[in-house]
Chains A and B, each alone.
Chain A
Amino acid sequence: MALEGSHEEHIIINGTLLQGVQNVSFQQNVSESAVSMLGNDFAGKTLDGPTQVTASIDKFLLNSDFVTQLTGLTDISGQFEYGDNLVDFSQAVLNSYAVSSSVGQLPQISFDLSIYGSLSGSSAPIRSSSLNEDNIQNVPESGLIVTFDKGGPNAVQSFNFSETFDVQPIYGLGQETPAHLSIIGPITQEVQITIEVQNYEPEETFSFLSGSKDRNRTIELKISGDSGVLNTFSLENGCLASESMSAGVSDTIIAELTYKGYKKV
């Protein structure tokens, strides 16, 4: 039966139906290459690596997010339902997630997963037995609070936070799925902040040589809704990775700051 629209599409992860989903995509890349040999320029094809399967999910961050609680797990499973069709996936790992918020827009979060198990069609829906993610709430702009070292009168225009995990699968001989899945530390965090310049000044170039330079900055984004704080994202042990300032005719002065932080697995 033909799909009537996105209202018929649902994604369930680890038994929880996600709310506020904007985009879902699955991709499967097969590692096959042509075999050439003496006496035969195309003798066939060979499989030279595991099939790379990934999934991406974007959703509004208007509730207490469920998926970020799955960081560190190596056996995430789920189902994508679209119309009468179902796709199951198993043994997935969160590769990264990114939160973005900017003036005049709803905060969003996107997830990238690698699927090391199977991606396959299914005939057994699980939506009716799954739990619902927390309901979406009203998140006003005043509910987005950014705490960082260059705040004050410099108004934050946009804030992006990401965490990236180094997932290492190890395949054993004769095994289709990894015999071992590890998340190797440290977890890499990055924050990008755009501010309207009021009294901001770049950090002095040679100050980065100093041993007393602050390399343990904590930067935080709190997202609050009607019921209070919904999500908190913190960059730990952060240091300034880059900063830029630009001014143009008929425009305000904008500065972009990038911080990198690392935390233990």
Chain B
Amino acid sequence: MAYISYKDVPLYFGQPNSNTLPTTADGGNLGVFCQQVQLNYTPNISPVRLLGKTPTRDNFNLAGPPNSSLSFSCYVSNAEFDPTDFTGDVGDLGATFRLGDDTDGISGSGAFLTSFSYTLSPYAPVLVQCDFAIYNPLTIENAGGKIAGETTAGVIDDLNFANYGHGAYSSFGGTPLSDLSVFESIQYQFNANRFPVYEIGGYNPGVVELITAEQNVQIQGDNIQALVPLTGSNPGNITIDIKNSSTTTLFSTPINGRITAENISIAGGDLARGSLTITELLK
């Protein structure tokens, strides 16, 4: 079998908290404008050795749910995949996705977002890094999906210049930071710790609990806020709006936390720069 080009292997999601797999039809999926993807799949089996028996290749037992994860980086655009649809307590079903052909490709369900991050820089498109944990087995049969080229053309739309999030149009607002006026770059990170509860007699978790969630933002600019007390400081509510060239807000990440780190870097032949980190506990 020959190698398959990336252009034939689209990644597309179904709606959040749904068991319905996405289709290739426009409107039947949340297309991911994906730059790179990584799928890791490790069935959770352990060797079993019995007294008086020589182990064979089949002496492995199912020891737990498989460890599966899906990580990718993508652009964000109108009416397609939006990472903020998958944050927070999103129910117990998770999301479905397909990678490649909708028949022979890889399909999954029970995907829950565990982290997403992005860097916002002037004049640079916004690339979002997403990490999903997959709590449902990718397959329970003898054979599953594989890398298979999608035969339906146009599953992923062209990326319209006017539609996707870009640092040239995005904004950083809310309570002004009194000592920072130039925002050179912003790094945002969301992390969630989820706990799938598997039940006897089933492969899929019956309940997925959101245990903890937090977000933090690191802002680099022309200064830091005045050094904060030992207990940190709340600078107020800050909103990062990821916008496209039509100034449509694609998603917002408001953050109202405490300043947990302040750093200054000054090098010979360069300007003095400051960065501060704000962390908000969401759960």
A180 touches B222 (CB 8 A): yes
Known: A39-B11, A174-B169. A46 touches B125 (CB 8 A): yes
B184 touches A172 (CB 8 A): yes
A28: CB under 8 A from chain B? no
Chain B residue nearest to A166 in the complex (CB):
B269
A39 touches B155 (CB 8 A): yes
A38 touches B32 (CB 8 A): yes
A173 touches B269 (CB 8 A): no
Complex interface bits, A168-186 against B, C-beta within 8 A gives 1, otherwise 0 = 1011111110011010100
Tell me the bound Cα distance from A176 to B43 in angstroms.
Answer: 50
Known: A35-B159, A38-B156. A173 touches B186 (CB 8 A): yes
Which of B74, B168, B169, B269: most chain A Cβ within 10 A? Answer: B168
Tell me the bound Cα distance from A116 to B8 in angstroms.
Answer: 41
Interface-side segment among B13-21, B116-124, B134-142 = B116-124
Considering only residues 36-57 of chain A, those with a C-beta below 8 Å from chain B are 36-41, 43-50
Residues of B near A176 (CB, < 8 A) are: 168
B10: CB under 8 A from chain A? yes
Tell me the bound Cα distance from A38 to B6 in angstroms.
Answer: 5
B183 touches A48 (CB 8 A): no
A167 → B minimal CB distance (Å):
12
Cβ-neighbour of A49 out of B31, B123, B158 (below 8 A): B123
- Chain B interface size band reads 35 or more
A132: CB under 8 A from chain B? no
B184 touches A182 (CB 8 A): no
Tell me the bound Cα distance from A238 to B35 in angstroms.
Answer: 51
Q: Is the interface of A mostly helix, strand, loop or mixed?
A: strand
B262: CB under 8 A from chain A? no
B83 → A minimal CB distance (Å):
16
Cβ-neighbour of A40 out of B7, B123, B186, B221 (below 8 A): B7
Tell me the bound Cα distance from A37 to B6 in angstroms.
Answer: 7
B123 touches A37 (CB 8 A): no
Cβ-neighbour of B124 out of A36, A48, A172 (below 8 A): A48
Cβ-neighbour of A45 out of B6, B8, B161 (below 8 A): B161
Tell me the bound Cα distance from A172 to B32 in angstroms.
Answer: 28
B199: CB under 8 A from chain A? no
B33: CB under 8 A from chain A? yes
A47 touches B168 (CB 8 A): yes
B276 → A minimal CB distance (Å):
15
B270: CB under 8 A from chain A? yes
Residues of A near B161 (CB, < 8 A) are: 44-47
B122 touches A172 (CB 8 A): yes
Residues of A near B269 (CB, < 8 A) are: 166, 184
Residues of A near B270 (CB, < 8 A) are: 168, 184
Residues of B near A47 (CB, < 8 A) are: 123, 125, 161, 166, 168
A135: CB under 8 A from chain B? no
Residues of A near B75 (CB, < 8 A) are: 35, 37, 46
Considering only residues 172-212 of chain B, those with a C-beta below 8 Å from chain A are 172, 181-186
Residues of B near A166 (CB, < 8 A) are: 269
Residues of B near A168 (CB, < 8 A) are: 270-271
Known: A170-B271, A171-B184, A174-B171. A40 touches B156 (CB 8 A): yes
A90 → B minimal CB distance (Å):
18
Tell me the bound Cα distance from A174 to B122 in angstroms.
Answer: 6
A31: CB under 8 A from chain B? yes
Complex interface bits, B59-76 against A, C-beta within 8 A gives 1, otherwise 0 = 000000000000000110
Cβ-neighbour of B7 out of A41, A50, A172 (below 8 A): A41
Complex interface bits, B26-44 against A, C-beta within 8 A gives 1, otherwise 0 = 0000011111110000000
A43 touches B171 (CB 8 A): no
Residues of A near B7 (CB, < 8 A) are: 36, 38-41
Known: A38-B34, A182-B271, A184-B270. A174 touches B124 (CB 8 A): no
Chain A residue nearest to B12 in the complex (CB):
A39
A41 touches B5 (CB 8 A): yes
B158 touches A44 (CB 8 A): yes
Residues of B near A180 (CB, < 8 A) are: 182, 222, 271
Tell me the bound Cα distance from A104 to B209 in angstroms.
Answer: 86
Known: A38-B10, A38-B11. A43 touches B122 (CB 8 A): no
Known: A43-B156, A43-B157, A170-B184. 11 other contacts (CB 8 A): A37-B6, A37-B159, A38-B37, A39-B12, A46-B75, A47-B161, A173-B120, A173-B122, A173-B170, A176-B168, A180-B222
Question: Which 10 residue pairs are nearest across A and B when measured between Cβ atoms?
Answer: A39-B10, A171-B122, A41-B7, A39-B156, A44-B159, A43-B159, A38-B34, A179-B182, A172-B182, A40-B156
Interchain Cβ contacts under 8 Å between A and B, 17 examples? A37-B35, A38-B7, A38-B10, A39-B31, A39-B156, A41-B5, A43-B33, A43-B156, A43-B157, A46-B161, A48-B124, A49-B123, A170-B271, A171-B123, A173-B121, A173-B122, A179-B182
